[in-house]
Amino acid sequence: MSNPPLPAEYDALLREPNACVIGTVMSDGSPHTVATWYLWEDGRALVNMDAGRARLEWMRKDPRVSLTAIMDDWSQHISLRGRVTEFVGGEQGMDDIDRIARHYTGRPYPHRDRGRVSAWIEILSWHAWGF
């Protein structure tokens, strides 16, 4: 894997609303993966979760994460390893999920009944396949 920053070509691709999977480590040290929306901004990734997610708890305990973004025809994909440097809840957490939902669906996030928490991910290394 290489160190950031990413070449402009990959940076631009990551700004698209790609399919993405986030990998975290559960409390027992086992890997956990789930599909996630994300935003790529200034070389960092922003993800956002329901405030009640167990994942949030184990990410606070071990902030190391891995992301794999899969481009359109998924013969191209970029993996990013990093760590969460900041969790943000409250109104900002809700604003962020609206911003992310607009990026993917063109509309604000439809659910307002539960709190949302953002996690900013600083990238430590990356690798691109199929380019």
What is the contact surface with its own copies in residues (CB under 8 A)? 19, 21-25, 29-35, 62, 64-68, 70, 74, 77, 79, 81, 127, 129
Are 48 and 116 contacting, i.e. CB atoms less than 8 angstroms apart?
Answer: yes
Closer residue to its own copies, CB minimum distance, 46 or 59: 59
Closer residue to its own copies, CB minimum distance, 21 or 88: 21
The Cα–Cα gap between 25 and 18 comes to 23
Could you tell me the smallest distance in angstroms from the CB atom of residue 19 to its own copies? 4
Closer residue to its own copies, CB minimum distance, 31 or 106: 31
Are 112 and 106 contacting, i.e. CB atoms less than 8 angstroms apart?
Answer: no
- Residue 128 CB neighbour total at 10 angstroms: 20
